[in-house]
Structure 1
């Protein structure tokens, strides 16, 4: 089953409440001085680009993503004249060498078939002394929504277990991320957690985004029969911490890795 990334609105319904919070925390964590130029690699629907504008006072921001549906959403979401969006892939960025003070990527790196090449391209795009940084979900332990989902999916069908992002993406842990950045020739490499909490008003608020087809978990739901889908929905509901008012509060953790291109 291929991961589907095409519809910006559906993705935002599924992951937007998380991605905006994590992007904001990530930009604050980097503490890049104002007036710098930024490149957002795999910019998607524009959550990280918007956070850079809100928090970092950049001179300019360039977003690059291969999904035209996501770019269309990003262009509607972010209309600041300092921002330009381009179509392109992380392994062959359409930008000159050494042209950005900060090269960043959010929730994307693990989906690139050759992450080493993507990081090499990020380093190429960074100016000497520039920051190269990214963040990915801690699928194995820290992303509670998906941890509950895949545990419920595997409980009903063991064949779903290999689809679990916690198993599919071993890169999404501190040690492999630090190793990837170090092997790319970056200095001052650090890996730090970035955390957020989201509140769902009720179970329907949580479950409906899984019906949009964008990403591994909704993609899996789309393959199920109506009976199997309803059974998965019920198992997931039973596993969640539902409050007396019906709301559901879930934490999420991403790992943020950063380094500096040597001068």
Structure 2
């Protein structure tokens, strides 16, 4: 029984995420860099799909301690995050973005590699929930696996992703297991569909932040 929605056990996530997503560190550095410009002194940060808490730790190191809420549907992921962030004051919620209920408002809401597990309807609900969590003028940042707009583009993208994982040291079986989840356990959408969902949720500014191979980052301002 898998203890979270990723392709590896929670206890193995930190050791393997960079092999599965070879540019994963850029998701976090690009997120922090964007916040430095769009919201340089955040006082409240909500991280949904927080996983093992790596982004939160880096955010605290970058901006100092602030009001932080970390949410994830996986109990084991939250357990690891609590240990990693034991020296800091963090509120935890065991919930996915699509089911968030929180009356507080935040300067920053992040959802890094967490919504591509959702159906179209639930993805829209998750995005609307993130919008509701923000203060006026607050910034939302999300990174996701994306779907190319053509059959050939998808074939090339998946092959590049497969090769990158093999070069990172993952074995053939583990790579195949992950790639085979595409369209079955993870449900990517195109860059334009991401933009449309963000605009539909009510964001006044929607921009593409970063794109490489089969992943993309977006930011939106309430």
In which range does the TM-score fall when normalised by the shorter chain? 0.7 to 0.9
1:104 maps onto 2:110 in alignment: yes
* Distance 1:256-1:56 versus aligned 2 partners, 3 A rule: farther
User: Partner of 2:129 in structure 1?
Assistant: 121
Q: How far, CA to CA, are the matches of 1:161 and 1:180 in structure 2?
A: 26
1:256 to 195, 201, 217: 217
The Cα shift of 1:56 comes to 3.0
The Cα shift of 1:122 comes to 0.5
Show structure 1 runs of 4+ deviating over 6 A: none
The Cα shift of 1:22 comes to 2.4
Q: Which has the higher contact order (CA 8 A, sep 6+)?
A: 1
2:14 to 12, 15, 32: 12
Is the 8 Å Cα contact of residues 41 and 104 (structure 1) preserved in structure 2?
A: yes
1:86 maps onto 2:93 in alignment: yes
The Cα shift of 1:64 comes to 0.4
Q: How does 1:204-219 map to 2 (within 5 A)?
A: none
| Larger of the two Rg values belongs to structure | 1
User: Partner of 2:188 in structure 1?
Assistant: 170
Over aligned residues, Cα RMSD in angstroms?
Answer: 3.5
2:27 to 17, 22, 29: 22
SS in 1 for 2:11: helix
Q: How far, CA to CA, are the matches of 1:26 and 1:71 in structure 2?
A: 21
Question: Which blocks of at least 5 consecutive residues in structure 1 are unaligned?
Answer: 196-251
Is the 8 Å Cα contact of residues 139 and 221 (structure 2) preserved in structure 1?
A: yes
* Distance 1:35-1:126 versus aligned 2 partners, 3 A rule: closer
The Cα shift of 1:85 comes to 1.9
Q: How does 1:200-239 map to 2 (within 5 A)?
A: none
The Cα shift of 1:144 comes to 4.4
Scaled by the length of structure 1, the TM-score of the pair is: 0.63
The Cα shift of 1:149 comes to 6.0
Q: How far, CA to CA, are the matches of 2:178 and 2:117 in structure 1?
A: 18
CA deviations over 1:1-24 (Å, ceiling 9, x no partner): x98448321222221565444212
Q: How far, CA to CA, are the matches of 2:33 and 2:66 in structure 1?
A: 17
SS in 2 for 1:136: strand
Is the 8 Å Cα contact of residues 100 and 127 (structure 1) preserved in structure 2?
A: yes
Q: How does 1:169-208 map to 2 (within 5 A)?
A: 169-171=187-189, 173-193=190-210
Q: How far, CA to CA, are the matches of 1:64 and 1:161 in structure 2?
A: 24
1:60 to 60, 67, 77: 67
Is the 8 Å Cα contact of residues 47 and 70 (structure 2) preserved in structure 1?
A: yes
Is the 8 Å Cα contact of residues 20 and 47 (structure 1) preserved in structure 2?
A: no
